[in-house]
Amino acid sequence: MNAPAQTLTTETAFAKINLALHVRARREDGYHLIESLFAFIDDGDRLEVAPAPDLRLRLTGPFAAELEGGGGKSEDNLVLRAARAMQGHFGVNAGASILLDKRLPVAAGLGGGSADAAAVARALNRLWNLGADEAALIRAIGPLGADVPVCLAARTAIGRGIGDELLPSADAAGLTGRPVLLVNPRIACPTGPVYRLWDGVDRGPLGEEATGWRNDLEPGALALVPQVAAVLETLRGMAGAEIVRMSGSGATCFALFGDAAARDEAERAVARARPGWWTMPGALR
């Protein structure tokens, strides 16, 4: 299939957070069974795709160097793997020039790589005039990672299994539009080692009430990156912060606020107290 290419197409790789992450069991193959409430911020990495004879990737942004140092331009880059998977699944012979503006920190508990893969799939779907629905995109690139399906939808959802069994989540808690502040101490926190430090205790299922939400990976992340404790303490001390938690396997933490003014004042306070930390204000999608 030679897809007729369109003009420049842009897409946002929305940052994912885990409002709750309950680890229920460790499988014999090393994977963990979880229950998580996924949510997405209305900001993240930015992608541009344009017609080209082959697939090519260029990186910009404050965290581009971290990707390049870790093989960002290699055959293992998740954006290029997603683009090749799209070509193969839909029989596309066209290429694309892909620009990834890497604005989210790497190994940060924000689903950055999966979000980037999902965003490039959405963008290529338009660029190549594929007309694929969400289910078709999941079939094309879902095998690239457990977080990829939820990042394709980029909507609040409950994840079970290894995170790939998704159920829509009713907005009973009034989450949509809630102001949120992300904070990261600029220290990578790799997912695998954090999961391996889980103590194996099942502390119960994901409930509907926010008071029972938790992140069972927090102790392991604190052991590897003690600075996470300082981030959590700082956010809990901010006026108007209502829910404060670490996201995913860390090291990014977040605070939900009742209004944008309180969130913005908290960001300014963090910048004054900890100028080396990364912050991103936004709202839940």
CB-CB contact of 240 with 258 (8 Å)? yes
* β-sheet bridge partners, residue 98: 49, 57
Q: Which residues contact 277 (CB under 8 A, 6 or more apart)?
A: 183, 184, 185, 186, 231, 270, 271
CB-CB contact of 36 with 106 (8 Å)? no
82 alpha carbon, distance to own chain's centre? 16
Over the Cα atoms of the chain, what is R_g? 19
Angle, helix 78-90 to helix 134-141, in steps of 10 degrees: 110
CB-CB contact of 276 with 186 (8 Å)? yes
The single residue of 16, 45, 101, 102 carrying the catalytic annotation is 16
Two structure tokens written together for 208? 């509907």
Two structure tokens written together for 38? 């996924």
Q: Is 102 a catalytic residue?
A: no
The single residue of 43, 101, 116, 147 carrying the catalytic annotation is 147
CB-CB contact of 109 with 225 (8 Å)? no
Two structure tokens written together for 55? 């697939």
Q: Is residue 18 classed exposed, middle or buried when 0-12, 13-18 and 19+ CB atoms within 10 A define those classes?
A: buried
Catalytic residues: 16, 147
